Amino acid sequence: MLAAVDLVSSHSPLFTWVILPILIFLSRIADVSIGTVRVILVSRRLKYLAPVAGFFEVLIWILVIGQIMKNLSSPVCYVAYAGGFAAGNFVGILIAERLSIGTVLIRVIFPKQVNGLIARLREKRYGVTCIDGQGANGPVQIVFTIVPRREAYAVIALIQESYPEAFYSIEDVDFVERGVFPVRRRWGAGAVADLVKSFRPGKSGN
């Protein structure tokens, strides 16, 4: 993005006060967004993707800092740098939510007399653990299931169909090994389609 700055004269007021700050702002958004995603990749133990994200993050940052050092007399560049950093944090979080990276624990609490939810979850190949408990209004059943984050919406839909008033919570899981999980699809047309769908409007993160 910043490679094009050499094509424009650095003595031009338009370049110094408009074009360069915009380039710095956009580049800073890109670098901070990648950095936010990189931190999440590291926390999810995705050791092959995190270094790639880190490479591009630092590369863009060096280009941005280089242009800042060449234009120390321009306060607009400082504002663009700070604004890009702030916007980059916001964009990075949105990207991470849309990518649905990682694994989550879904905990559901509902009255014991409500049947069907556990069977429906098992039909979908979700691993389910359930225990009996005592709630404020009587006996309850507590259901635990650990699923890939991208499957959370499907599980929530099953919960709401079976018992719309059920209490449920979703928590991040740092590491999981073994267990029963839905069949993972290989990267292909279907997986790419799911990734594209995750960026459509009207779908929020957990």
| Domain boundary residue, one of 62, 84, 99 | 99
83 shares a domain with 18: yes
CATH assignment at residue 174 = 3.30.70.120
The mean of the pLDDT values for the chain is: 78
**pLDDT confidence of residue 111:** 81
pLDDT in tens, 21-45: 899 999 999 999 999 889 888 887 7
As beta bridge partners, residue 133 has 140
**pLDDT confidence of residue 114:** 62
pLDDT band at residue 185 under the 50/70/90 scheme: very low
94 shares a domain with 16: yes
pTM comes to 0.62
Q: Is residue 67 included in any domain, yes or no? A: yes
pLDDT of 125 over the 70 cut: yes
| CA separation, residue 206 to residues 40, 116, 179 (Å) | 15, 24, 22
**Cβ–Cβ under 8 Å, residues 142 and 133:** yes
Q: For the chain, what is the domain count? A: 2
Average pLDDT rounded to a whole number, residues 41-61:
89
125 shares a domain with 73: no
Percentage of residues of the chain with pLDDT beyond 90 = 24
pLDDT in tens, 190-206: 444 444 444 444 443 33
Q: Is residue 204 included in any domain, yes or no? A: no
Q: Is residue 206 included in any domain, yes or no? A: no
Nearest to residue 61, comparing CAs of 91, 31, 40? 31
Give the CA count within 13 Å in the CB-facing half-sphere of 72.
2
**pLDDT confidence of residue 28:** 92
116 shares a domain with 84: no
Q: Is residue 128 included in any domain, yes or no? A: yes
Nearest to residue 117, comparing CAs of 77, 79, 65, 157? 157
pLDDT in tens, 144-183: 998 888 888 889 998 888 888 888 999 988 766 665 556 5
95 shares a domain with 126: no
As beta bridge partners, residue 42 has none
